[in-house]
Amino acid sequence: MKTGRAILAAALFCLGSAPTLAVSQNVGILQSEILVVDPERLFEDSDLGRKMLSEYQAERETLAAENQELAAELEAEEQRLTDIRAETSPEDFRELADAFDARVQQIRADSERRVRDLERKRERMPVEFLNQVDEIILDIMRASGGVVLLDQRSVILRAEAVDITDRAIARINQELGGDADLQDE
């Protein structure tokens, strides 16, 4: 219990000694050296981030449809092999079955690679997004007198006024919308 109070007291002391917040009367913009942003919300709530996620989802659905189609083709091919088994010599059937197994293994490996590639792309999207919007974020920081931008998830206590997430989303939507060129890597 004492430890919790000590941490809270230290946090309050740090807040008390932190740079003061001011609203510049001539531009109406919050002035603070320390700002915070929620990068996850920035990505998920901006038009550009939504477009990136939508394109990823479309690719994922396309891949799933292709995999279902391949599975149906393989099932039909397997049934054809089963149907000709009785009238095919064991040696010829073995060749056909081995060729079918090799094809199945290749298709499975290709499918797994495509799924991994797509998931890697999804993992990189927030970083690619931040690369595309970094000038907007920097401009907001400059206008606010900011010298440090923190991820709000790592901040214990803060004044809401230092959170630039909503402002950044509005600017991203205004300047980039969902029409920015998306980089394929």
For the chain, the first-to-last Cα distance in angstroms comes to 51
Q: Which two tokens stand for residue 108?
A: 């499975």
The string of pLDDT tens digits covering residues 9-62 is 333 334 443 444 444 433 455 677 889 999 999 999 999 999 999 999 999 999
pLDDT score of 53: 95
Q: Where do the domains of the chain lie, and which CATH numbers do they carry?
A: 22-175 (3.30.910.20)
Question: Crossing angle for the helix pair 47-84 and 165-175, nearest 10 degrees?
Answer: 70
DSSP letter (8 states) at residue 182: P
pLDDT in the model for residue 177: 76
Q: How high is the pLDDT of residue 29?
A: 59
pLDDT tens per residue across span 117-134: 999 999 999 999 999 999
- For residue 41, the model assigns a pLDDT of 94
Judge contact between 29 and 37, C-beta under 8 A: no
Mean pLDDT of 172-184: 69
Model confidence, pTM: 0.69
68-118 tens-digit pLDDT = 999 999 999 999 999 998 898 999 999 999 999 999 999 999 999 999 999
- What percentage of the chain carries pLDDT values higher than 90? 62
Q: CA 163 to CA 36: how far, in whole Å? A: 5
